[in-house]
A and B are shown apart, each in its own frame.
Chain A
């Protein structure tokens, strides 16, 4: 892409989203459709629901569950991936089992997980962790395996101790791929956060949205969908910053978004 002036790029980037919101706002103003209420009413519901007690009741539990679930997935995934990568025979043996667990559509396991962990927030956290652990684990394993063998040979000839080998050679070497895994896990985690709250829960944004739909509180439902959209977007943006920090030692590729044959 040719170099463009910053202002022109900004205009190109923003005219469509602004146009969509404006058209939505004025186009829906006189809307009588029960499913598509005026944007002004949705916005009012949004303010009423999320800038008040609803924030503590629904948004905080959702995000807390997500954070705990992802933390468990990260620790277990990187730990197990590291362990398997150190023992190639074990990794070969485990391969079909890992592929199987990864391939289970995580939502199908929800009922089973809630039986085991109860319907409290432990169940939600377990569901998020179960869905999110596989991409991290498999990417850690693969990332370590694809480190240039000569680097590992050098490390061995220096007789570097295992803890140092892990923190200075293996993890940094695998980091580009681990971050790809975490990005996938983040997306899966948000899906399961919403899904598990819709399926069985007494709090959370997903719970709020499904109850609003069942009680035909359409503007409230839309406000929840909008909030989930914003949360998804902000999480993705925030993770982009973390990712750049984790990979700050790497030369920047020209197009970070393109995932070619990962």
Chain B
């Protein structure tokens, strides 16, 4: 057996042991709590609740709502953010002029505008989508501007000297060169969008997974099960974005690990 195989076995075994230890620690921690006081439920109860939930339509409905809201919001961010970024990067005047406004909007704590949107649109999916667009568009916009402004000038000069028309310069030179930057923006926006969807559901009562978590507050078993589902959803989203990125940018770099 090669050392690599040994190592893989060790890692796999370690992961299983860790999973088991975490579950056991949770179980013991849950049993310590007073039965009368609302505390952390036992792991076994949460696992049962999770399995039960998977068989109900309410879980899948709310999961579907959350995914749809996030997807629509993120898609709108792409459609708005990338062209706007291209435009603002076209001339230094536009870039510099918009800098302060973008910087300010970007750093406003996203949830701060929930009350305003709630007031105008009520607890609807439309409100959550509007919230996502108002908040998640900035990372994509900003990264597009940086990406375009960092395209190697020699590449552009070469393309121009070949008299490539504007759209071909955009498609063949600017787009590939700025893509790595833009994808960093997309990665940030995707995570942010899901966070905002859950936040709008939890705080404003927009239908979806977050609202289900809010409604199950008095049933801790179910609440913890739903939180685990939310975690899995987040993980799935992160992996999906990374898979698309690695596919589209395979020529650019060796697949990275997920960090930020």
Contact = CB atoms under 8 A, between A and B. Distances in A.
A92 interface: yes
A141 to B, nearest CB: 8
A158 interface: no
Interface string B227-243: 10011111101100000
Nearest to A116: B40
A58 B109 CA distance: 16
B101 interface: yes
Given A99-B258, A139-B260, A261 B184 contact: yes
A182 to B, nearest CB: 11
A191 B235 contact: no
A184 interface: yes
B40 A115 contact: yes
B195 A225 contact: no
B15 A100 contact: no
B101 A20 contact: yes
Interface string B205-244: 0000110011001001001101100111111011000000
Given A13-B97, A139-B259, A225-B116, A99 B195 contact: no
A70 interface: no
Given A221-B115, A258-B150, A194 B109 contact: yes
Interface of A is mostly: helix
A94 interface: yes
| Interface size range of chain A in the complex | 35 or more
Contacts of A4: 92
A139 to B, nearest CB: 6
B176 interface: no
Interface stretch (A72-80, A232-240, A243-251): A232-240
Interface string A198-232: 11000000100110110000100110110011011
Contacts of B108: 225, 228-229, 232-233
B93 to A, nearest CB: 6
B103 A193 contact: no
Contacts of A229: 104, 107-109, 112
Nearest to A141: B259
Interface stretch (B49-57, B124-132, B155-163, B196-204): B196-204
B56 to A, nearest CB: 18
B180 A210 contact: no
Interface stretch (A24-32, A104-112, A147-155, A165-173): A104-112
A7 interface: no
A107 B108 CA distance: 17
A116 B220 CA distance: 11
A218 B223 CA distance: 33
B90 to A, nearest CB: 13
A133 B143 CA distance: 25
Contacts of A241: none
B172 interface: no
B15 A93 contact: yes
Contacts of A193: 109
A97 B25 CA distance: 15
A181 B112 contact: no
Nearest to B17: A93
B100 interface: yes
Contacts of B184: 259-262
Nearest to A18: B100
Given A109-B227, A194-B111, 10 more contacts: A93-B15, A93-B18, A105-B230, A105-B234, A111-B214, A138-B258, A209-B115, A213-B115, A232-B109, A255-B149
Closest 8 CB pairs between A and B?
A: A213-B115, A103-B234, A93-B14, A104-B231, A103-B235, A232-B107, A108-B230, A228-B112
8 contacts: A20-B101, A93-B18, A177-B259, A199-B202, A224-B112, A233-B103, A260-B146, A261-B253
Interface of A: 1-2, 4, 9, 12-17, 20, 35, 89-90, 92-94, 96-97, 99-112, 115-116, 135, 138-139, 142, 177, 180-181, 184, 187, 190-191, 193-195, 198-199, 206, 209-210, 212-213, 218, 221-222, 224-225, 228-229, 231-233, 235-236, 255, 257-262
